[in-house]
Chain A
Amino acid sequence: MNGENISFWEKLGKIDRRWIFLIIGLVVFIPIAFGLRMTVHVSPAVKSAYDTINRLPEGSVVMISIDYDAASMPELQPMLKAILRHCFDKNLKVILINFWPLGLPIGNQGLEEVAKEYGKVYGVDYMNLGYRPGDIAVMLRMGTEIRSVFYGDIKGTPLDSLPMMKNIHNYDDIAVVVGLEAGSMGDYWVQYVNARFKQDLILGVTAVMAAGVYPYLQAGQIKGLIGGLKGAAEYEKLVNHPAFGHIGMASQSWAHVAIILFIILGNIGYFMERRRKRGL
């Protein structure tokens, strides 16, 4: 400090970042390590997403789009699992589709894991279309015929040989599309598939993206919005299956509290320093 005598309060504005890293690490790690949980309250946006799926009659088709990779997995994978549990519990048919190639194995793992829990059969109760390049082009072509883009499923099995796909040709045969988004694909689903084909949509997005998606919810372009790990935890609560979303919520809660405390300390230090400089 160039020989300056600064008070304890002023030091609060100059905490070494390593202390911040250590405390954030601890508040994230401890709740996960000890499995601490917090009571989660369901928001209207998530309830609306849940109700949209819950109202579907048995046998309806839900398409889930995996538009994320491992980086967003902690937030979006709990959402995928909670939604799959809801769908399989209600005997809905599930089609998985991927627009992020690196998300393909993640989505497939989640699907197979939950399908196994419910004893569902591949090709009868659920299937995975896999990945096709082309984003918007793929979305638009599926509006006419899914087979014009996906000749087979993820394993190359022709779609017509899968019993559940016999009567599924385009968006007319799909009740709801759920987009789990870590990028711009959610915007495309809304702008091209909802706007053009009047397809009902639900979006599950990372917390950092949620604010940008609210206009779609308020305008009725999406039926529900699941935002970040909190959204995942809320959906887990609705399907009565608390899992990673709930554990993660405790970490996130205390991390937010720690950040707010640091902000307060920083401001105390800032005002004390300003006071000293003004000679007060």
Chain B
Amino acid sequence: MLKKQIPLAITFITGVIIVITFFIPHPPFGRLQQDALTWYSVIFGFTMLLGVDSLVRFHYRKLRRREKGWWFSIIFYGGFLLSFITGVVSEVRFGDAFNINSSFMYFYNTILIPLQSTMFALLAFFIASASYRAFRARNIDATFLLVTAVIVMLGRVPVGYMLWHKLPNLTSWILNVLQLGPMRGIMIGIALGTVAMSLRLILGIERTYLS
């Protein structure tokens, strides 16, 4: 019984305090908020350690059981150890792992940046291929989407201005008028949904996080 009631009580008390301190940031509530934020920062820091622990265990399990793609786990361990060792060595040697001459920064610049950039750059190819297949004027709705997409794609690059100097203005109008109304509605909807879910959590109606 206590297994459920204690977490519910902690959620209720914390939630109510945070809401009060948001609207009354003066003593004693302001101080409470600062303390709560400090705890949050500390807990957040530990979640990163938890993430590392979870990742290391996951790949260890995969290696031990020789699961499909197990050799990717070796690459993970290689990357993890390389970052860890070079980070510590650079910190000791230069007093700062981010020193431009450090081995940590060498691997960061020559491995991590190109890998991350490549992964992101691949999107351009997939988007081009997906646009070619998906943007078909099958009905009136799809045609509107297609025409709008083409206008915005052209209006957001200099070649659009070269084709027709008013195209960037038309693009701005689409973004500021046609797009903004629905977008604002979606944002208000999300905010109301967040408030409702927060209230359900604080009042103990929503309890799925306990299981």
Do the two chains belong together in a single complex?
yes
Contacts from A to B (Cβ < 8 Å): 15, 17, 20-21, 24-25, 28, 38-41, 43-44, 69-74, 102, 104-106, 108-109, 112, 132-135, 137-138, 140-141, 144, 148-149, 154-155, 207, 210-212, 214-215, 218, 228, 230, 249-250, 252-260, 262-263, 265-267, 270-271
Q: Is the CB of B168 within 8 A of A43?
A: yes
Instruction: Tell me if B40 is interfacial: C-beta within 8 Å of chain A.
Output: yes
Q: Considering the complex, which residues of chain B in the window 114-155 have a beta carbon less than 8 Å from any beta carbon of chain A?
A: 114-117, 119-121, 124-125, 127-129, 131-133, 135-138, 146, 149-150, 153-154
Q: Are A105's CB and B175's CB within 8 A?
A: no
Contact residues in A for B175 (Cβ distance below 8 Å): 210-211, 214
Distance A62 CA – B179 CA, assembled complex (angstroms): 31
Query: What CA separation (Å) do A126 and B98 show in the bound complex?
Result: 17
Q: Give chain A nearest CB distance to B14 CB in angstroms.
A: 13
* CB neighbours of B206 from chain A (8 A): none
Q: How far is the CA of A133 from the CA of B131 in the complex (A)?
A: 38
B44 to chain A: which residues have CB within 8 Å?
Answer: 133-135, 137
Q: Is the CB of A148 within 8 A of B131?
A: no
> Pick the contact of B40 from A134, A144, A252, A271 — CB < 8 Å?
A134
Bound-state CA distance A17–B132 (Å) is: 9
Instruction: Give CA–CA (A112, B128) in the complex, Å.
Output: 36
Closest chain A residue to B41, Cβ basis: A134
Q: A69-B116, A255-B124, A259-B131 are in contact. List 6 more A-B contacts (CB 8 A).
A: A108-B98, A134-B37, A137-B40, A211-B175, A252-B157, A256-B154
Q: Which 10 A-B pairs have the closest CB atoms?
A: A70-B116, A134-B41, A71-B120, A38-B158, A253-B159, A253-B157, A137-B37, A70-B113, A262-B132, A137-B40
Set B131, B161, B168, B183: member contacting A211, Cβ < 8 A: B183
Q: Given A24-B128, A71-B119, A258-B128, do A249 and B157 touch, yes or no (CB 8 Å)?
A: yes
Q: Residues of B within 8 Å of A, CB-based: how many?
A: 59
> Are B41 and A267 closer than 8 Å at their CB atoms?
no
Contact of B41 among A132, A230, A253, A257 (CB under 8 A): A132
Are the C-beta atoms of B40 and A249 separated by less than 8 Å? no
Evaluate whether A230 and B137 lie within 8 angstroms (CB atoms) in the complex, with A20-B129, A133-B45, A141-B34 already known.
Answer: no
| A218 contacts B176, C-beta separation under 8 Å | yes
Q: Is the CB of A266 within 8 A of B159?
A: no
